[in-house]
């Protein structure tokens, strides 16, 4: 048995970079693009991974999803509409995202309103997925209980046979959501926990920026 992990004394020192008001884009979406590009070039594993938090009846829940498109409209990801996150979004459209890149000592927090994207956009993305992923969307009733792994494997086999020799259509229960940001915060780790935090808030169609204390 290993010794107990000393969590109280686990800490790092952040000193890779700085974040100044005059050096960031006035549009936070463009700044997100720049930081994503930095993460890609730094060989961060899955740089487009983000923590999605939803809330229903005052009870929050979080999970990792992948950013699949970034535009002026917002942050797009895909899932089953009937998954737990899908059901929670349908009841409460407010959601939060978190990107964290420890190699760059950076994180981005996003808060906003979530809605489904157009059906044809979901069709287009689904058609671009690997065939196995397409079949998995049919085989798995996401977030629902299942008796055992073997049943899942059998469902996958059944759908492989059902769609053999033809394109796999998108299930009507599966598609994309866009998180339309109202608040975006950029965090850059700094020495002695004196981190840089720049917050953008949308006011009508414009963005305002302010610095937050660490």
Query: Could you give the domains of the chain?
Result: 15-122+172-212 (2.30.110.10)
State the average pLDDT for the chain. 96
Query: What's the CA gap between 146 and 154, in Å, rounded?
Result: 12
Query: What's the CA gap between 189 and 102, in Å, rounded?
Result: 9
Residue with tokens 């005059």: 22
- SS3 for the chain is CCCCCCHHHCCCCCCCCCCCHHHCCCCHHHHHHHHHHHHHHCCCCCCCEEEEEEEECCEEEEEEEECCEECCCCEEEEEECCCHHHHHHHHCCEEEEEEEECCCCEEEEEEEEEEECCHHHHHHHHHHCCHHHHHHHHHCCCCCCCCCHHHHHHHHHHHHHHCCCCCCCCCCCEEEEEEEEEEEEEEECCHHHCCEEEEEEEECCEEEEEEECC
- pLDDT of 1 higher than 80: no
Residue with tokens 């959501």: 177
- Which two three-digit tokens encode residue 155? 């469902």
- pLDDT of 2 higher than 60: no
- Which two three-digit tokens encode residue 75? 């942050």
- Which two three-digit tokens encode residue 100? 């964290």
| Burial classification of residue 99, based on how many CB atoms lie within 10 Å of its CB (0-12 exposed, 13-18 middle, 19 or more buried) | buried
Query: What's the CA gap between 194 and 211, in Å, rounded?
Result: 12
Kindly state the average pLDDT of the residues 2-28.
90
Query: What's the CA gap between 151 and 78, in Å, rounded?
Result: 24
What is the share, in percent, of the chain residues with pLDDT greater than 90? 93
Write the pLDDT tens digit of every residue in 98-120: 999 999 999 999 999 999 999 99
Record the pTM: 0.93
Write the pLDDT tens digit of every residue in 124-159: 999 999 999 999 999 999 999 999 999 999 999 999
What is the share, in percent, of the chain residues with pLDDT greater than 70? 99
């Amino acid at each position: 048995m290993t010794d107990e992990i000393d969590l109280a004394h686990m800490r790092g020192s952040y000193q890779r970079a700085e974040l100044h008001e005059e050096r960031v884009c006035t549009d936070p979406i463009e700044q997100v693009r720049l930081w994503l590009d930095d993460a890609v070039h730094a060989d961060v594993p899955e740089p487009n991974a983000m923590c999605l938090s939803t809330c229903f009846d005052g009870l929050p829940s979080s999970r990792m999803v992948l950013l699949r498109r970034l535009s002026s409209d917002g942050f797009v990801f895909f899932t089953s509409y009937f998954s737990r996150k899908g059901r929670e979004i349908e009841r409460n459209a407010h959601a939060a995202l978190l990107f964290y890149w420890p190699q760059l000592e950076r994180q981005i927090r996003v808060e906003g309103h979530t809605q489904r994207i157009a059906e044809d956009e979901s069709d287009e993305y689904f058609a671009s997925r690997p065939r196995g992923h397409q079949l998995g969307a049919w085989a798995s009733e996401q977030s629902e209980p299942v008796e055992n792994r073997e049943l899942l494997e059998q469902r996958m086999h059944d759908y492989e046979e059902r769609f053999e020799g033809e394109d796999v259509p998108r299930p009507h229960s599966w598609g994309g959501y866009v998180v339309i940001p109202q608040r975006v915060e950029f965090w850059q780790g700094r020495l002695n926990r004196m981190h840089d935090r720049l917050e953008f808030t949308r006011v009508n169609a414009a963005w305002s920026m302010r610095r937050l204390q660490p």
